[in-house]
Amino acid sequence: MLLLNPVKTNVVIAFLVIVAILGHVAAWRARPAVAACGADFPVFYAGAKLLGTPQLYSPQAAQAIMQKEVGCTGPASAFIRLPYFAALVWPLTLFPMAVAFGMWRVALVAAEIGFIASFGNHWKWALLACAWSSPLAWDFDNGQDSSFLLLFIAAAGVLMSRRRDFAAGLCFSLCAAKFHLMILLPLLLIARNLRRVAAGAIAGGTVLLAASFAVGGWSWPGQFVAAISSPDIDPYPTMEHNLRGTVAGRLPLEILLGITVAAAVWYVCRRAPMPIALGSVVAGGILVGHHLTVSDSALLLFPCLILALECLSWAIRIWAILLISPLAVALYRIPALNHLPDLALLGLVYFLAWIFAANLR
């Protein structure tokens, strides 16, 4: 990053971070009480309470628990994680909902601090980006789990840089909570012949799968598929900021563009330095993932920070910064332009493939 004066830069960063945090606090305090009805953690809490029963994936059962604990619920309130996730959340059910929610938020902040720390000497820039990230704030407010994925991905990247490939694979396996967003990871593993990473991912995934059967019984896979196939989970799919939303649900076009994104990511994985290659996997996963929440867009922090800090192309740096800036969020709120950032992300993935093909990085 181009710095003019380290002291002045640090002061400006600190000021901007404080302004952002105060803004988030003000917005959070102004939220109506009914906002809890659409929050994600109460659903996780309900799923954990239903663990060990045939109703783990029953929307009605989850909504009944939410009605009792929160006082309200919503049609999309249904547990849609693998059973092992409910087992991990289960200890929090020993506490009242409000206390458990607070503990979950503390864990989210800890994960975000870990993510920021993974950038080493550049941690201040990561802090600034996280402070101004609306999706990350949404993740905290609603009690989602995208912050954990950011930590797992960043940790895997750091471990690979230290040649601790098996441990990196174990970190990747922890992304199973939202496996659809890491669907392009095999491209990186195959393109770079990362056998130890793959072994770690398979080993960790096997443990999580075994744990899921241990706590969820043998019938959970069918129930899980039925749960994630419910139209209530995606009531407004064309509003999602991925290929599905960009092409307004036209499946043939989504598949065609998805293939081109996978091809571009494959090329970047073959040619680019490892951090950028991993970043392309995350960016491509956001595009091709068929289900995307607001907080899932926080995952863009990883690839965009990597590109802003490590790519030699100033065009790519500026492009990446804009994608995680408040400008992108502002465009989301303009109906005629709300998919412009998604097209920009798609173009960024294509452009990355092109610059590494032309050796212009």
**pLDDT for 151-175, tens place per residue?**
999 999 999 999 999 999 999 999 9
Alpha helices in 132-250 (DSSP H): 134-142, 146-161, 165-173, 185-191, 195-216, 220-228, 243-246
Whether residue 316 contacts residue 351, with contact meaning beta carbons closer than 8 Å, is answered with: yes
Q: What is the mean pLDDT of residues 179-188?
A: 96
- pLDDT category of residue 123 using cuts at 50, 70 and 90: very high
Whether residue 307 contacts residue 317, with contact meaning beta carbons closer than 8 Å, is answered with: yes
Helix axes 340-357, 251-271, angle to 10 degrees: 40
Question: pTM value?
Answer: 0.94
Sign of the Cα torsion 134, 137, 143, 149 reads positive
d(CA 188, CA 278): 7
Burial of 270 (0-12, 13-18, 19+ CB in 10 A): middle
Torsion of CA 43, 44, 45, 46, to 10 degrees: 50
Q: What is the mean pLDDT of residues 123-147?
A: 95
Whether residue 72 contacts residue 36, with contact meaning beta carbons closer than 8 Å, is answered with: yes
Whether residue 84 contacts residue 208, with contact meaning beta carbons closer than 8 Å, is answered with: yes
Higher-pLDDT residue of 226 and 5 is 226
d(CA 45, CA 30): 24
259-271 pLDDT, tens digit per residue, is 999 999 999 999 9
d(CA 335, CA 327): 14
Least reliable range by pLDDT among 115-119, 229-233, 296-300, 320-324:
229-233
pLDDT at 360: 52
Whether residue 249 contacts residue 238, with contact meaning beta carbons closer than 8 Å, is answered with: yes
* DSSP tag of 94: G
d(CA 308, CA 348): 12
pLDDT of 37 above 80: no
d(CA 320, CA 221): 38
303-351 pLDDT, tens digit per residue, is 999 999 988 788 899 999 999 999 998 998 898 898 999 999 999 999 9
Burial of 311 (0-12, 13-18, 19+ CB in 10 A): buried
* DSSP tag of 233: T
d(CA 145, CA 114): 14
Start-to-end C-alpha separation, the chain: 15
- pLDDT category of residue 4 using cuts at 50, 70 and 90: low
Of 36, 43, 34, the C-alpha closest to 63 is: 43
What share of the chain in percent tops pLDDT 90? 77
Q: What is the mean pLDDT of residues 240-255?
A: 91
pLDDT at 200: 98
* DSSP tag of 92: G
